[in-house]
Structure 1
Amino acid sequence: MTTQTQHQVPRGTRADAEKFNRLYLIKNVKMLRATYQIRLLAFKATSEGLKLVLKVPSACEFDRSLSELIEETDNTILREDY
């Protein structure tokens, strides 16, 4: 999936894995916010009827921006702890 930046440079992102009807993004962080990467993958998941699974450490906290994105996308984004 690609979009155009302000200066018309194509940008895109890929999930770390795709399996069945899920896109997986693996992050090893203490705090996760709704980054451009997550927003693009959430858009792709919503458009294609998939789920976006954020695989994060159990101690990872979601920033308010990410919690709001999860609500906005009708729970298309799932959390999986490791």
Structure 2
Amino acid sequence: MEYRYTKHQVARGTRADAVRNDSFFLLKNVSTLRLTYQIRLLTVRAAETGRKLVIRVPAACKLHPTLSAFRKEHSKILRIERV
């Protein structure tokens, strides 16, 4: 099969910063964390593999309202830890 791409189109994917048998870890050093494509994609991957996604942020980090709503919706899979 031949795929037709323009020069700006690339396959999108993401990797967790650390992986354990039961969890994916994403480490972010930001003052405000938004709901990004990386977070959505890793949440789907965690759900498909039966793992959890743990996002570690600084204690002073603020969560964007879209991320807070997404976290409530996927509370069994997504956990945010303040370090």
After TM superposition, the score normalised by the length of structure 1 is 0.83
Q: Match of 1:44?
A: 45
After TM superposition, the score normalised by the length of structure 2 is 0.82
Q: Match of 2:54?
A: 53
Q: Match of 1:29?
A: 30
| Same amino acid, percent of matched pairs | 47
Question: Unmatched 5+ residue regions in structure 1?
Answer: 1-6
Residue type of the partner of 1:57? P
Q: 1:49 Cα shift? A: 1.3
RMSD: 1.4
Structure having the higher Rg = 2
Q: Given the alignment of the two structures, is residue 65 of structure 1 paired with residue 66 of structure 2, yes or no?
A: yes
Can you list the C-alpha shifts for 1:10-31, whole angstroms capped at 9, x where unaligned?
1100000001210000000011
Q: Match of 1:79?
A: 80
Task: Select the structure that is richer in strand.
Answer: 1
Cα distance in 2 for residues equivalent to 1:68 and 1:47 = 21
Structure 1 stretches of 4+ with a deviation exceeding 4 A read none
Number of aligned residue pairs? 76
Say whether the 8 Å CA contact 1:46–1:73 is kept in structure 2: no
